Structure 1
């Protein structure tokens, strides 16, 4: 690195810093100035400033600026401490108290009071001046802290949740509130801080903090329980639970303590604080507060004697949290207690792993907590995010690497909708950033430089690249020291290193100044280019990322496009989408020209190959813009392709009418361009759009035309994805018409054409085949097809296809078992796609839920899903309409029978609009069942019509249900007998799609 860069990265005296900022003002100061003599008001300001300058430094802060009666103070400079947020709040409480204690003469007997706002985050620092104060602080954090101060009322302290995090347990706060802060898009979660918490309040909050479920740790819990057993038998034991921050030490011990209390033991607790709040024997003094009648001990020996006497009366457990901050006197008490071998006492410490050579063990036994396993991590995520798609779960697991604290923070981020991040980078809350940065700043300067350069390289770090940039060996003492500090470890691939936690890397990355970071990115990219031309194909994505972050738009666009093409060819849809978006953003930074504009349009079209299988409505604007650019700079073929892809994406989103309109326009332009290949592509897309809009006659003609041409030009060397897609759509159409034999043959041809490869078209083929099998009542086969679709969707990382596959599997499972968890699965996988606002075939999900929830007696929920399915019909998505109307008919049959004919008529109209033979027959069966329940005369005739249709279509499961109902009718069973039947399968059949 250059001397300049080296100085910035290693020292970072100014530049980017994780700070906590405090803004405070005197409340109603303008009114006071008007009613007070000038000299008296000046004396008030003098006293106010003295309070500021006395209080802030005592809590670890720096007064940046005092202007009039206003204060700006910062915490976290020159060294970031993890408890900077706590120090700022403690300072605010003291200032508020001291100001209110001032008793200057004020008209009307008024008292002085402050209002304060506190917020944390990344701040750009530079040297200040007389006007700006000691430092100039830039970025959103100062603005937000100032806005919080403005929002606070007299005597109020408003603190963002991002500032306090777990440290909120040290204070008494009001209920959390969402505050819309000017200049910030999302509301900010804030607390009103009223006072310091008492020990009891603090310990109670500790046990409640964090709602991540207690998962895993069975072996560690068993070790603690055995230690308690030994102690209760009269053998003094001491156990230290050790691990890095956030690994779950306190959570494990709290879970253990809840069991100990049930065994009739006395539990005394305390905690140690870092250097800002520490006092001698602090944790043991905390324990005395639970022993009100005991005379206070003064020396380590006094404490030893007191605890020994208590243990003689009743088994005793002493728990000290954050033992790594204990003072020397506390160590003496612990040493004395450990010398006792025959008392009924267990001492439990939570402590961080400190790399101190030859340091004595804190306890007789040390339980070192390792990261949670993948299964345990997923359980913890499920407890926080019960409805979340599996790709978000995977991303959280990857970045957290089993650290429960990081899991919890990333779950918060996902719940806020921050799951989609550019190139996977994340940011933590202010308190979490401080925690990581405080650990970095305790490293030697050379290690700080190394870890920050590594963070710029990425989460996975080629060893040769790190050596090239820093001059330090990847297996040298500096890197080994970073492994000991839980930062960087050898990677899974030979010759690589990796960050232990992705979120740690991201926080360190953001702390590197922009200009230094950009220079490093460019140096890294150039080194990668020079390392090996042959290896560049393996590094396309990394080259795109480094050139993009380094500000080289031309190279960023080039490599992002190449990397996107590579990802698309490997059916890695999520990576292809991300990389194409990077390429588009890079092109937007170049001077606009026809060549750049048409290149941008071409990349959007390749992005369309991803989006048609996994659409996101927010990307629709890209295709609208592509049409505008094509019409401005392109020829007829360019305009045709642009409308073709806009139509295709509209199709993928479920906007049937728009899809047809754009594909029709594309066909006109393609024919005008006399481009035969393009015409065939548009004809196929138009047929697929008409099929999705249930315009089956038009769709069938177009699909047959496209299939005939594509089949003639079929090549054995490449998979013809377009042909396979057209075949799948044709097969689906035939299935909906009740032509199941022809449909299965068409599906077989499509699936055979992609056999042996993992491609997103395979997920579509198996998924839609599953839907047709569901219509035919072949539940087990439908589940197998859905499973295969889901397997491919997971491999290609297509959330839309995975959602469809899981829903179909769940509906088939529900039809076979009637277990309510299958309905819950459909609800959850449908919710996965709500943020994407994708609607293709969504009416099926809502129709299935309407049917299942009606059967389960959950009529209000069933009506809601029926309404959602019917709303989809406005976009010509009619697949769930007949099913929903049948569910509504069944729902009102008992209490509003006069409405039944209306709903059944609407169900029949919806089925006939698609000319769907299976829907018509199932609707007849539903009408027959309801008619028989009410002794209707048409039941027998309706059953006969349905039976004939089921037999003709090979719907044997449905036919069996008709036969059962006919035999029941012939036997003369009455309504009461009918309602008392053990489990009537046809109650589901009448609501089938």
Structure 2
């Protein structure tokens, strides 16, 4: 059988993306009935020898032979870049080899020999499979099963592939779409594609050109200028060795291609010879061979008969005589991998042969430079064979002409000193990650503008860490999963992005690096990846790493540019390290078995628990403990720590952080089962509504209420019913609000729950105020204050905060009721007291409500303060992510700008348009009429009567059912004055009468509603 490299002896079970290839001989059973077993065995061995050679040629691994079938893996036990492409090339090669075998055996068998092949890509668990001493390396998972099912479905000579394989290789191959089909033993139907052929000149796998996206080089202008200066020096007779170094995906190829495009366009007399080393590693002279093939257009699979004339023609083009060609050709055929077919080199010792090959290559370079300056480009030199590198050094040391520029690219850690030559100037260009703004520019250029929501854009920039390839691969994933779609007007975001996974292109690149690491270094990096992006040495030493020498392994990881030691660590602290790329840490983490991850998370949590003590109070400590325990068997601990961290974030009014922490706690609690989800669930719901996720809040409250009913928890039922009532109010359902508050009041009858009763009373007061019953609103507010003030004289911290919240809200309701009853100065004092209490207790949402009302109240007694207080409140609402109060404060800010300044159009109009957009986006029908009315007034004042009428009528349509005086009156009044402006006198009179009826019904002064149009 064809020899293949054995699995890494230290290869432990892990998770990885693999491309599985199943190949099976058609009609094997019938064939076995017709020929002798010895003949059949000879045929079988020849077939397996050829198929194994095809697999090995593309860096694959033969997992097993089953009867007449072969299973090959690409991506395990060692990953390479482009494994799915390699698998399809191997499949095509197998088919071609089988055709040649069939020709040789046709006379003996009397029937054709053909394969049917299935190829599929996906996740597997790889490692030792079997029992006792018979264990062997293999893979397990549905990916392999699907490949076998595709093979079984394939017709004679067909190669069928799965959807992911096709998606990852469609730039390099052509396929026929067969539609979705049922596969034996699998539920549902599976998309199936038939491989037709490989493309003659496939575009690079990297980049987004297959989506019609071409991105110019960004952030490398300085390096491009340096390359052009080096080429100018070559023209002046100074040979140049230029190294371009940088991480995978950092932009080395893009820089080289941009440089070569400039050279071809501006300096066409320059001869360019370009090649790239294979990630499989090059055989001896492999890099030189690749350059020869590229220069003389020799296909890698070309036969000797086809190669000889192409090589001879190329050498003749350099002006070599027939005698010289005859002397050099055997050397170059050896370099090209044909050995010594004419026995011309049999008398040479190995050292003599090596020297002659080096001199032959030098001759090529010298003859080419006699014709024109020569630019030789070798990419990915870190994969080059050492003999080719020695040959390049030999040439650089001995060239007579200096019109040579050798440009090489490589990754960090590759030793390039072996290329140093005294006869050439040397330049090293190191490519750093793109700056944040450059990364944002790349995204905008790719998508044709600022298309992405800024939160998503910033997350992409953060994850990619300035690596252009990472940015492109993340974009590719967003496009292929339907998050981004191209419409006639350009790219649009269609759905929320799931950013939990690492794009497959990045996984493949990084897993190839990971698989080249020594066993202990790889094992240590996996443990460190479970800790997080950064980690300290003391913690590593306390964990079951299974590593003999941790410090030595850390040095190996540093040399491989996997991790780096952090410099800004206090001298007394343990050394601290970090992964050089966050996505690299993610790939290490994903590579671990789930069982091993869970064990390590538990072990890390236990060590940190001892380090931080039984009652950690620092948020970072709580988050660390919560993260690890939530992913361990002790999930309840994770829930507790994450909820406590969320509480701290909420106290600091970092509501976005609190939401994220509560969500993680909720997820861990659901995985743990039981009642652990209820506490983080309610807190998460409490923050959902003000941050614009009302439906999610309602769903959670409903679930929590059902749970409380089952357990007979009356106070909890009342609290959740009250919160559901408030949600209904904010979305304009007053009837539902009234019913919820009544139900909550009934639940609290005879129950000792004074805090909840105080909250309910002040909410009922607020409802009465919005219904126009201001005296009843004051009554409810006073009752709430009385209830809150008679609570425990020694409340705990949580109870004290709840008391302050009830009092602040009640004072606010009482203040705005007083304002509607004409007692404006008293109202201002009481609302200011509400804000003072809310700020002292850190209830910033309630403080924002007070600022909203003060912004309106100050317009009557201290106009200069109106804009200031609205700005202060708006900044606070933005700080805590409270979108509802942002809309309210922007509305009042617009009113102040348009009433007291000359900045109505420049600042008032943008403010009211943003407020309107927020209310529409969140479905806040409770407040939506207010910005509509203000915008209508602005349009009316500036002569846009039709637009003003539209805004007034839309507002009226929303508020007509609620019959809320402070909203109905300005609708009617606005329409009346607009009709007057348009000389529609009968309509104007009708609307004035309706406005007067609203005031009469509620006992209000029309002037008061004009001066104070909206209070809350």
| TM-score normalised by length of structure 1 | 0.70
The Cα of 1:179 is off from its aligned counterpart by 7.8
The Cα of 1:726 is off from its aligned counterpart by 7.1
Q: Is the 8 A contact 1:115 1:156 kept in 2?
A: yes
The Cα of 1:508 is off from its aligned counterpart by 0.7
For 2:918 and 2:747, how far apart are their aligned partners in 1? 33
Q: Is the 8 A contact 1:26 1:113 kept in 2?
A: yes
Q: 2:644 aligns with which of 562, 584, 603?
A: 562
Q: Is the 8 A contact 2:855 2:866 kept in 1?
A: yes
Instruction: Tell whether 2:682 aligns with 1:605.
Output: yes
For 1:404 and 1:427, how far apart are their aligned partners in 2? 18
Instruction: Indicate the residue corresponding to 1:352 in structure 2.
Output: 411
Instruction: Indicate the residue corresponding to 1:18 in structure 2.
Output: 16
Q: 1:482 aligns with which of 521, 542, 557?
A: 557
Q: 2:378 aligns with which of 313, 320, 334?
A: 320
Q: Is the 8 A contact 2:282 2:384 kept in 1?
A: no
Instruction: Tell whether 2:714 aligns with 1:636.
Output: yes
After superposition, the C-alpha distances for 1:519-561 in whole angstroms (9 at most, x for unaligned) are: 3222222222222428833322212222222211343333233
Instruction: Indicate the residue corresponding to 1:670 in structure 2.
Output: 748
Unaligned runs of at least 5 residues, structure 1: 1-9, 831-840, 847-867, 959-993
Q: Is the 8 A contact 1:122 1:511 kept in 2?
A: no
Instruction: Indicate the residue corresponding to 2:705 in structure 1.
Output: 627
Instruction: Indicate the residue corresponding to 1:137 in structure 2.
Output: 139
Instruction: Indicate the residue corresponding to 2:626 in structure 1.
Output: 544
| 1:321/1:636 CA distance change after superposition, 3 Å | same
| 1:697/1:937 CA distance change after superposition, 3 Å | closer
After superposition, the C-alpha distances for 1:793-825 in whole angstroms (9 at most, x for unaligned) are: 6755678888999999999999979899x99x9
For 2:200 and 2:645, how far apart are their aligned partners in 1? 57
2:77 partner SS:
coil
Instruction: Tell whether 2:470 aligns with 1:406.
Output: yes
The Cα of 1:512 is off from its aligned counterpart by 2.3
Instruction: Tell whether 2:265 aligns with 1:224.
Output: no
| TM-score normalised by length of structure 2 | 0.69
Q: Is the 8 A contact 1:518 1:550 kept in 2?
A: yes
Q: 2:280 aligns with which of 258, 275, 281?
A: 275
| 1:81/1:240 CA distance change after superposition, 3 Å | same
The Cα of 1:651 is off from its aligned counterpart by 6.4
Instruction: Indicate the residue corresponding to 1:576 in structure 2.
Output: 658
After superposition, the C-alpha distances for 1:405-448 in whole angstroms (9 at most, x for unaligned) are: 333344455665999xxxx9943233422322332232233322
Q: Which has the larger radius of gyration?
A: 2
Q: 2:530 aligns with which of 456, 459, 472?
A: 456
The Cα of 1:564 is off from its aligned counterpart by 2.9
After superposition, the C-alpha distances for 1:810-865 in whole angstroms (9 at most, x for unaligned) are: 99999979899x99x999x99xxxxxxxxxx867447xxxxxxxxxxxxxxxxxxx
Instruction: Tell whether 2:121 aligns with 1:119.
Output: yes
The Cα of 1:227 is off from its aligned counterpart by 3.1
Instruction: Tell whether 2:132 aligns with 1:55.
Output: no
1:697 partner SS:
coil
For 1:734 and 1:408, how far apart are their aligned partners in 2? 60
Instruction: Tell whether 2:573 aligns with 1:511.
Output: no
- Greater displacement, 796-805 / 575-584: 796-805
Q: Is the 8 A contact 1:234 1:344 kept in 2?
A: yes
Q: Is the 8 A contact 1:79 1:438 kept in 2?
A: yes
| 1:70/1:443 CA distance change after superposition, 3 Å | closer
Q: Is the 8 A contact 2:845 2:882 kept in 1?
A: no
For 2:668 and 2:364, how far apart are their aligned partners in 1? 67
After superposition, the C-alpha distances for 1:107-131 in whole angstroms (9 at most, x for unaligned) are: 999995635332143525441489x
| 1:637/1:686 CA distance change after superposition, 3 Å | same
Instruction: Indicate the residue corresponding to 2:173 in structure 1.
Output: 172
2:121 partner SS:
strand
Instruction: Indicate the residue corresponding to 1:501 in structure 2.
Output: 581
Q: Is the 8 A contact 1:927 1:939 kept in 2?
A: yes
2:219 partner SS:
coil
| 1:342/1:912 CA distance change after superposition, 3 Å | farther
Instruction: Indicate the residue corresponding to 2:88 in structure 1.
Output: 89
The Cα of 1:698 is off from its aligned counterpart by 6.9
The Cα of 1:632 is off from its aligned counterpart by 0.8
Instruction: Tell whether 2:610 aligns with 1:530.
Output: yes
1:536 partner SS:
coil
Q: Is the 8 A contact 2:393 2:418 kept in 1?
A: no
2:292 partner SS:
helix
For 2:886 and 2:182, how far apart are their aligned partners in 1? 38
Instruction: Indicate the residue corresponding to 1:78 in structure 2.
Output: 77
2:631 partner SS:
helix
2:248 partner SS:
coil
For 2:35 and 2:973, how far apart are their aligned partners in 1? 92
| 1:791/1:902 CA distance change after superposition, 3 Å | closer
Instruction: Indicate the residue corresponding to 1:250 in structure 2.
Output: 253
For 2:912 and 2:475, how far apart are their aligned partners in 1? 22
The count of residues paired between Structure 1 and Structure 2 equals 878
For 2:401 and 2:452, how far apart are their aligned partners in 1? 52
After superposition, the C-alpha distances for 1:581-629 in whole angstroms (9 at most, x for unaligned) are: 444455445674xxxx3x5433322223322332544565433221111
The Cα of 1:367 is off from its aligned counterpart by 1.1
After superposition, the C-alpha distances for 1:360-418 in whole angstroms (9 at most, x for unaligned) are: 55982111112222333333445567444444444444433323333334445566599
1:119 partner SS:
strand
Q: Is the 8 A contact 1:614 1:652 kept in 2?
A: no
2:429 partner SS:
strand
After superposition, the C-alpha distances for 1:81-104 in whole angstroms (9 at most, x for unaligned) are: 334333222212222444566479
* Cα RMSD after superposing both structures: 6.2
For 1:232 and 1:190, how far apart are their aligned partners in 2? 55
Instruction: Indicate the residue corresponding to 1:965 in structure 2.
Output: none
Unaligned runs of at least 5 residues, structure 2: 1-7, 299-309, 319-331, 333-359, 484-492, 790-794, 1000-1005
After superposition, the C-alpha distances for 1:482-510 in whole angstroms (9 at most, x for unaligned) are: 23433223446544432222221121112
After superposition, the C-alpha distances for 1:855-885 in whole angstroms (9 at most, x for unaligned) are: xxxxxxxxxxxxx98xx86x99656777999
For 2:181 and 2:905, how far apart are their aligned partners in 1? 46
Q: Is the 8 A contact 1:611 1:652 kept in 2?
A: no
For 2:408 and 2:111, how far apart are their aligned partners in 1? 52
The Cα of 1:336 is off from its aligned counterpart by 3.0
